[in-house]
Structure 1
């Protein structure tokens, strides 16, 4: 299978009988013990308890506020309003986390559909959760893989579609906390290049890092309307060799909403939406996107490190053509505006609670 047009999607649309689903689920749990996801279940219980408890506290504060206003005791109103406001912020945060946790649950029927879909299309389905093993991300942050599909092409190249969740984001992580990726193996390491989609309206609210603006490279034509390309300083010509106009035109057609990253020996396409789903239209999209880039990789793999690069110990050094000089292996990144706003909001909650507690004494 090399084209998305030959996908057999009957399993994604099927509705198994209850007895068949029960038998499958019992067998599937034995083969994949972690599929019950006790960690997510524990988070769900804790978050639900917090939401209920905070709701009760919030209602109590509102009743207290109404009573104080009715008695004409205006001196007690400001601290009560402050505490109620901060509690409401925490309540909203817990409720959103609970909703996200619940939305990403994989139910037995979904596992059944994905397992049969993989079998019908010569894919390998790996249910989660499992700790992420992507080297390029492991050095940046801890991440969990919820679901994964793997295909080995006729040329031996491995392609993986997976849904991820970030546990501990750091200043070097440039993606939304949840989403999906397409990971395509390369036969050699390449310079670190990130191509970020500009049309994603939710990016401003995503608590993630951003590449330093000094590394941004302007593209020819109108490609800057669709993507921002970042490459290490001194690798501008290399980035233009890899992301030629025909590659960028294909990226607009087939990866308009994806971030594209070359890191080490991987090509990553990352999206804030899940990739491994039971939606046939979504599978047509992600398969087509992967196939569009697989055809370009042989040209990319002919890249060679043939220039003098700055040596970490001073001066310049010539590196072997099969490796990437240290300066080209990782982009510089920093926290984005949304991250600083989030940090400030958390700090304000703690400070506000402390001030309100001291005022109410």
Structure 2
């Protein structure tokens, strides 16, 4: 059954930029998870250090000025000296007050606006989502990832838009990654297909979070190859050509050229290095328009069947008429996941490290 179509024309983005009543903001701020609220310690510690360092620097500067022979010759000079001294001693504390007041006043505004935006469009909003169990690329790289500013539609289309952070490596090699994502449910399971957008690559290098076997690349007709590199599982090239007809390719070129696309199981994903859950109305309008355009052909995709699960055949019906029996929905094991490879530079680094270790061992044993 086809999922309910997205409607970008009725999207209400006014709550993202409209004015905020401070009393409403204060009440909403009290509902935020602790991890989202600004830490008073994180604000005060740098401010206090600033309050200590600035007077010391100011005193040092005045001492140098005094040593250079500056002397107060009249009451005006003394007043200027006292004024400078007062600014050095009192100014940092005034600055602390201004900073704390400003940070406290802005805390929760982003979450408040996104919550109002979600409510205005019959969506739900979560400022923090610790468990996002999706099969998409970025979600499979780390079990401890966090979703931020996650907007959902609980209807059959299963729309989810948000930002996602995860950590790879450990210790000094730990690295935090942040992605924007959008996903919507399709009407059926499809082969694992990835579209690597060339428009967001850096210095010719792919922006994908993992490295796919280049043998799975599939060239399509027209201008599609100038905008995307398409990966399809071995043996599913003909199925990819069935799914990506010229009109479907045109929609992806027109609406998804700036993001990477993944189709896995029964979901379509858009991935970006930039936040997709944002306070920018233009981003939301583009995003809903892109999802609306890309899923408009989902009914066409629902007719696809994996012939590895069985063949379409004719069988006699109960009333004597012949009926068409099609394979069940689903994807055979070879088409469920694309094959990944280890980047060549990791292999080189690994061999180099192993070589250094062997050399050090021989040097210790035979080097005397």
Count residues with an aligned counterpart: 267
1:189 corresponding residue in structure 2: 189
CA offset at residue 280 of structure 1?
0.5
SS at match of 2:305: coil
**In the TM superposition, what is the alpha-carbon distance from 1:107 to its structure 2 partner?**
4.5
Report the secondary structure of 2:235's partner residue: coil
For 1:110 and 1:343, locate their aligned partners in 2 and report how far apart those are by CA, in whole Å.
Answer: 43
Normalised by the length of structure 1, the TM-score is 0.65
Deviates more, 1:270-279 or 1:156-165: 156-165
Query: What residue is the counterpart of 1:73 in the other structure?
Result: none
Structure showing the higher helix proportion among its residues: 1
Which of 3, 18, 32 does residue 14 from structure 1 map onto?
18
Name the residue aligned to 1:324. Answer: 331
Q: Distance in 1 between matches of 2:107 and 2:277?
A: 13
Contact 1:24–1:112, Cα closer than 8 Å, also in 2? yes
* Unaligned stretches of 5+ residues in structure 2: 47-105, 170-175, 311-325, 361-368
- Please list every run of 5 or more consecutive structure 1 residues that lacks an aligned counterpart in the other structure: 49-105, 170-175, 310-318, 355-361
Matched with 1:112 is 112
Query: Could you say which residue in structure 2 is the equivalent of 1:229?
Result: 230
- Cα distance in 2 between the residues matched to 1:23 and 1:208: 39
* Alignment partners' CA distance in 1, 2:208 and 2:328: 37
- Give a deviation string over 1:60-102, Cα, whole Å, max 9, x none: xxxxxxxxxxxxxxxxxxxxxxxxxxxxxxxxxxxxxxxxxxx
* Cα contact 2:179–2:271 (8 A) shared by 1: yes
Q: What are the residue-to-residue correspondences of 1:183-222 with 2, within 5 Å?
A: 183-202=183-202, 204=205, 208-222=209-223
Measured in 2, the distance between the counterparts of 1:141 and 1:241 equals: 33
1:251-275 CA-partner distances (Å, limit 9, x unpaired): 1111011111111121111111111
Which residue of structure 2 lines up, in the alignment, with residue 148 of structure 1?
A: 150
Alpha-carbon deviations, 1:100-123, whole Å to 9, x = none? xxxxxx940001100111111111
Cα distance change on mapping 1:113 and 1:308 into 2, 3 Å: closer
CA 1:126–1:341 in structure 2 vs 1: closer, same or farther (change >3 Å)? farther
Query: Alpha carbons of 1:228 and 1:182: their partners in 2 closer, same or farther (altered >3 Å)?
Result: same
Instruction: Give the alignment's Cα RMSD to 1 decimal.
Output: 3.6
Partner residue, 1:246: 247
Aligned to 1:161: 161
- Give the conservation status (yes or no) of the 8 Å contact 1:114–1:278: yes
Distance in 1 separating the partners of 2:209 and 2:272: 14
Query: In the alignment, which residue of structure 2 is the partner of 1:333?
Result: 340
In 2: Cα distance, 1:342 partner to 1:254 partner: 39
Structure 1's 152 and 293: CA in aligned 2 closer, same or farther, altered over 3 A? Answer: farther
Q: Distance in 1 between matches of 2:213 and 2:38?
A: 37
- 1:283 paired to 2:296: no
Helix, strand or coil: the match of 2:233? coil
Tell me if the contact between 1:305 and 1:324 (Cα under 8 Å) persists in the aligned partners: yes
- What is aligned with 1:127? 127
Change (3 A) 1:127 1:197: same
Structure-1 separation of matches of 2:220 and 2:124: 38
Counterpart in the other structure of 1:297:
298
Equivalent residue runs for 1:26-105 within 5 Å: 26=30, 28-29=31-32, 32=33, 34-36=35-37
The answer to whether the 8 A contact 2:128-2:148 is kept is: yes
Task: State the Cα distance separating 1:218 from its structure 2 match.
Answer: 0.4
Provide TM-score, normalisation by structure 2.
0.64
